[in-house]
């Protein structure tokens, strides 16, 4: 089987979960070599001449092929739209030229929508099977961006493109439910995955110094991801539990709003690590006791959906996980591997910090449960699920 993956990204793994997922997927394909089902995987991505990105190289000649597309550097609303159109139109044009028959769009917006449009404009829709892989719930994601002024036409186009797709894949059970509720569109769930082999040498919690207990915020420093709640809860903790202040420290890993970085820099029991490559994440996780999972799910502040890569990394390393009690973190069949707090309740979050600081060992069993459960999210299982999904479409393709 030959597949064409289109992703509107420069493939820098420090950008976020999608790029990290792609590297994991391609590395696993390389590991399997001739024993996996794909003959050729073409990756269409946007080239950034100012950035040197290390790409996963093919272990077998011709298996993984990168197809960079160079775009104009002009900025502004009109030029941004033009870049989106040109990128996807050029990717589909090349696939048509190669007579490719399977296209996987990573994300419904912009990629799923613009590929759908380009397939029809180029008269190639009937010759190809189009899969759209939902990486989040667009309606929840877009509320926190400037493009929300165009939300109605975008949602209309998203609905039409998904209904036209030969298969829709969701990155989590909550994403699947969201799209059933919004558009009555069902999907195959293929949650994010983790390469368990990379984390086998990470120290267990019982081997770490118990003082101070280190709790990390890993991800983008935005309100929708709970960064503001994290710093507010730390302030409350420092004021209400001064005797415990030296028993716990808070680590900020990522990038985003300046106020968060300034807080982490200027608060005595906080440390700003900043943005790091995913290749170093296992080292970072080996130095902390736990992390927070505070992505919001309410209708006004939602930060996305799906099974996040950051959460899986905390799980596979057996770390304590403090999570919001919402649809994003309640989607898992198992509930015995996280400490839940009410969404946006900073007082409760601060109290949770205090309980952990007082007696961290009583919660170590949650980390053990998380590590055990992480095995079901292995990259091996993930690739098999994707292979089965693509094969289902492939055997029904139009010759």
357 and 273 part of one domain: yes
- Start-to-end C-alpha separation, the chain: 13
Q: How far apart, in Å, are the Cα atoms of 37 and each of 4, 5, 131, 382?
A: 14, 15, 17, 13
Reported as a pLDDT band with limits 50, 70 and 90, residue 37 is confident
Question: Which whole-number Å values give the CA distances from 383 to 12, 54, 190, 279, 391, in the listed order?
Answer: 21, 22, 9, 20, 12
Answer for the pair 390, 102: CB distance below 8 angstroms, yes or no: yes
What is the domain-level CATH number for residue 67? 3.40.50.2000
Number of domains in the chain: 2
Tokens of 9: 């990204």
The verdict on 285 and 182 lying in the same domain is: no
**Tens-place pLDDT, residues 233-254:** 999 999 999 999 999 999 999 9
142-198 pLDDT, tens per residue? 765 545 567 889 999 999 999 999 999 999 999 999 999 999 999 999 999 999 999
pLDDT at 143: 61
Residue 296 lies in a domain: yes
Q: What is the mean pLDDT of the chain?
A: 92
212-229: burial string, b at 16+ Cβ within 10 Å, e else: bbbbbbbbbbbebbbbbb
Rounded to whole angstroms, the Cα distance separating 63 from 77 reads 37
Q: What is the pLDDT of residues 304-356, one digit of tens each?
A: 788 998 999 999 999 999 999 999 999 998 999 999 999 999 999 999 999 99
Q: How far is CA 269 from CA 220, 247, 339, 359, 380, in A?
A: 20, 9, 22, 18, 39
Q: Note the pLDDT of residue 147.
A: 52
Say what the pTM is: 0.87
36 shares its domain with 152: yes
Cα–Cα distance between 202 and 200 in angstroms, integer? 6
**pLDDT greater than 90 at residue 35:** no
Say which DSSP state 6 is in.
E
What is the average pLDDT across 279-289? Answer: 93
397: pLDDT confidence band, cut at 50, 70 and 90? low
What local confidence, expressed as pLDDT, does residue 7 receive? 97
Grade residue 371 by pLDDT with cuts at 50, 70 and 90: very high
Task: State whether 115 and 99 are in the same domain.
Answer: yes
Same domain, 244 and 177: no
Residue 106, in any domain of the structure: yes
pLDDT (mean) for 3-19? 88
Q: What percentage of residues in the chain have a pLDDT greater than 90?
A: 76
Indicate whether 303 pLDDT > 70: no
Position 251 in a domain: yes
Task: Assess whether 24 and 158 both reside in one domain.
Answer: yes
Q: Which two tokens stand for residue 99?
A: 């007579």
Instruction: Tell me if 100 is assigned to some domain.
Output: yes
Are 300 and 344 in contact, with CB atoms under 8 Å apart?
A: no
335 domain-assigned:
yes
Q: Write the pLDDT tens digit of every residue in 131-154.
A: 999 998 888 777 655 455 678 899
Q: Does residue 228 sit in the same domain as residue 316?
A: yes
- pLDDT of 346: 98
> Apex CA 354: angle with CA 348 and CA 359, to 5°?
130
CA–CA dist 279, 93 (Å, integer): 34
* pLDDT value of residue 140: 76
Q: What is the pLDDT of residues 360-369, one digit of tens each?
A: 999 999 999 9
Least confident among 99-108, 233-242, 386-395: 386-395
Q: Are residues 214 and 152 in the same domain?
A: no
Would the pLDDT of 56 be above 60? yes
User: Is the omega angle on the peptide bond into residue 23 within 30 degrees of 0, that is, cis?
Assistant: no
Kindly give the pairing relationship between strand 102-106 and strand 2-6. parallel
Domain identity same for 283 and 383: no
Q: Are 384 and 36 in contact (CB under 8 A)?
A: no
> Residue 318: inside a domain, yes or no?
yes
Which pLDDT value is given to residue 362?
A: 96
Residues 219 and 362 in one domain: yes
Residue 172 is part of which domain span?
2-193+378-394
Closest CA relative to residue 217, chosen from 261, 247, 279, 280: 261
The DSSP letter of residue 178 is H
Tell me if 399 is assigned to some domain.
no
Question: Do 207 and 188 sit in the same domain of this protein?
Answer: no
Instruction: Give pLDDT, residue 259.
Output: 97
Confidence class of residue 111 from pLDDT cuts 50, 70 and 90?
A: very high
Return d(Cα 14, Cα 333) in angstroms, integer.
30
User: Two tokens at 275?
Assistant: 């943005």
For the cut 70, the answer to whether the pLDDT of residue 39 exceeds it is yes
% of residues, the chain, pLDDT over 70: 96
Same domain, 57 and 14: yes
DSSP one-letter string for 55-110: PPPPSSTTTEEEEEEE-----SHHHHHHHHHHHHHHHHHHHHHHT--EEEEESIII
């Amino acid at each position: 089987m030959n597949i064409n993956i289109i992703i509107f990204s420069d493939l820098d793994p420090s950008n976020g979960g999608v790029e990290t997922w792609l590297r994991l997927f391609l590395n696993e394909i390389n590991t399997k070599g001739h024993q996996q089902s794909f003959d050729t995987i073409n990756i269409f991505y946007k080239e950034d001449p100012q950035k040197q990105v290390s790409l996963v190289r093919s272990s077998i000649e011709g298996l993984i092929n990168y197809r960079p597309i160079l775009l104009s550097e002009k900025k502004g609303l009109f030029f941004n739209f033009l870049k989106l159109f040109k990128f996807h139109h050029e990717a589909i044009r090349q696939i048509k030229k190669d007579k490719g028959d399977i296209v996987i769009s990573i994300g419904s917006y912009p990629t799923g929508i613009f590929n759908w449009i380009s397939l029809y404009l180029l008269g190639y829709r009937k010759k190809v099977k189009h899969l759209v892989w939902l990486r989040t719930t667009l309606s929840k994601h877009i509320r926190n961006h400037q493009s929300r002024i165009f939300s109605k036409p975008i949602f209309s186009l998203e609905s039409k493109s998904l209904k036209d797709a030969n298969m829709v894949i969701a990155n989590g059970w909550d994403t699947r439910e969201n799209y059933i509720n919004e558009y009555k569109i069902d999907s195959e769930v293929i949650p994010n995955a983790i390469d368990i082999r990379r984390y086998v040498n990470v120290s267990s919690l019982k081997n770490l110094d118990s003082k101070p207990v280190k709790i990390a915020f890993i991800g983008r420093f935005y309100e929708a991801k709970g960064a503001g709640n994290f710093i507010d809860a730390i302030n409350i903790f420092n004021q209400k539990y001064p005797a415990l202040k030296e028993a716990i420290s808070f680590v900020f890993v990522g990038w985003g709003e300046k106020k968060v970085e300034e807080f982490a820099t200027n608060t005595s029991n906080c440390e700003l690590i900043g943005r790091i490559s995913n290749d170093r994440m296992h080292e970072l996780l080996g130095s902390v006791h736990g992390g927070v999972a505070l992505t919001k799910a309410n209708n006004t502040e939602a930060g996305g959906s799906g099974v996040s890569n950051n959460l899986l990394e905390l799980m596979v390393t057996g770390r304590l996980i403090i999570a919001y009690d919402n649809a994003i973190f309640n989607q898992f069949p198992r509930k015995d591997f996280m400490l839940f707090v009410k969404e946006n309740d900073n007082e409760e979050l601060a109290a949770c910090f205090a309980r952990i600081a007082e007696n961290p060992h009583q919660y170590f069993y949650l980390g053990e449960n998380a590590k055990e459960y992480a095995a079901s999210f292995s990259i091996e299982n993930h690739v098999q699920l994707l292979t089965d999904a693509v094969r289902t479409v492939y055997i029904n393709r139009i010759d």
